[in-house]
Amino acid sequence: MKMEKQRTLPMEEFVTSLKKLVKPNYLKAMWPVAGVSIIFIALVSILTLLNSNIAASMSMTMMMVMYGMASPVAILLSLLEVLGIFAIIAVLAFFYSFFAVATQYTYQDKLAYPEQPVSAGSIWMHYKHLRKNQLWRIMLYVTLFMFLWSLPLNIVNALLLPHLSGMAAVYTGWTIRILNDIVVLWKSIEYSQSYFLYREKQPQFLGQSMRYALTASRRFMTGRKWNYFAIVFVLEFLPMLVWSLIFGGLAFYGIYTATYVLTYVGIVVVIVGIACYLPVVYAILALYYNKARAGMEMDVLFTDTFKPVADLTGEAYVHEVYVEKQTKEQPSSTVKRKAEKKHEPKKDK
């Protein structure tokens, strides 16, 4: 498959376009995005705290069971509670992911139709019309492939570390973790455009495997990974890191000096600041895809992926006829004797 040369995006030009995209509707976009994000973070934090308390009480219950002071059923109930909370967190994460995708699609439409606002109403409209059964399959494929790519190093880590001790174990563990993080980061960049490419060919995905979106994203990012990493690192990661260091340091100072008011203020400001910056993050993702795809032949990315519709519906196999193999009839004994007489040589008189 012949791929055209990919064009990298200059940072200065990208920042100028980002300002034009975000500034006009920032406040309208900030309230719904920050509000939903803060609610999501609060719910996950509460559930995680509840889970840790249940886990602590479960360890106490196990000790009581050993001394015959509690029933083993109590451990089972606690385990079911822990699994139930994990399931709720997973469901919340899925629905928040749908919300994030809807926000990115809203900014993508804003680029195509500048008169369209980015607001709670427009984000909700995109959220309602998402094909969530297809999107969650893309999410599962991304999670599965990331897990499989990180699995070899995790296996090496699990097999190697027990045989090491001292500084050798520390250095080896850190080296494997860093390599694992690099692999995960690299693959996450390759799969980063899956949702946009799925939207590009959404009608063709009906009945098809959602992993084709990941394949197209991997091809799309060929020659662009470092450019994408630089843009995301400078415009997304660095601002949130600096903000977290400043006010996270304030929270740490509150713990260090037992001034717990500063601790709570620092944590709240970190969360609210990051939540308010999320509209810019989602705008960056949509803007990068739209600028990178400009003038690109998108059908090339999906070469040798989609199956023909006739194969999916079974129509391609309708005209195939399967006939049972017929057993050959054996000739009767009379027919055999006549055939033998015909082939006998004639005697000379």
164 domain-assigned = yes
Domain total in the chain: 1
43 domain-assigned = no
In tens digits, the chain (349 residues) has pLDDT values of 444 555 688 999 999 999 999 998 899 999 999 999 999 999 999 999 988 888 778 777 777 767 766 677 777 787 888 889 999 999 999 999 999 999 999 999 999 998 888 999 999 999 999 998 999 999 999 999 999 999 988 888 888 877 777 788 888 888 889 999 999 999 999 999 999 999 999 888 888 889 999 999 999 999 899 999 999 999 999 999 999 999 989 888 888 887 888 888 999 999 999 999 999 999 999 999 999 988 788 888 888 888 887 776 666 666 555 555 555 555 555 555 555 655 555 555 4
Full-model pTM: 0.82
172 domain-assigned = yes
176 domain-assigned = yes
Closest C-alpha among 275, 246, 247, 240 to residue 263: 247
**Cα(239)–Cα(279) distance, integer angstroms:** 13
Closest C-alpha among 296, 282, 292 to residue 18: 282
Closest C-alpha among 232, 241, 229 to residue 273: 241
Q: Are 274 and 33 within 8 A, CB to CB?
A: no
Whole domain around residue 137: which residue ranges?
131-222
349 domain-assigned = no
**Cα(176)–Cα(167) distance, integer angstroms:** 14
146 domain-assigned = yes
pLDDT of residue 253: 85
pLDDT of residue 307: 83
Structure tokens at 260: 């717990």
Q: Are 241 and 216 within 8 A, CB to CB?
A: no
- Whole-number Cα distances in Å, 111 to 60, 86, 100, 105, 265: 57, 38, 17, 10, 37
99 domain-assigned = no
**Cα(104)–Cα(134) distance, integer angstroms:** 17
111 domain-assigned = no
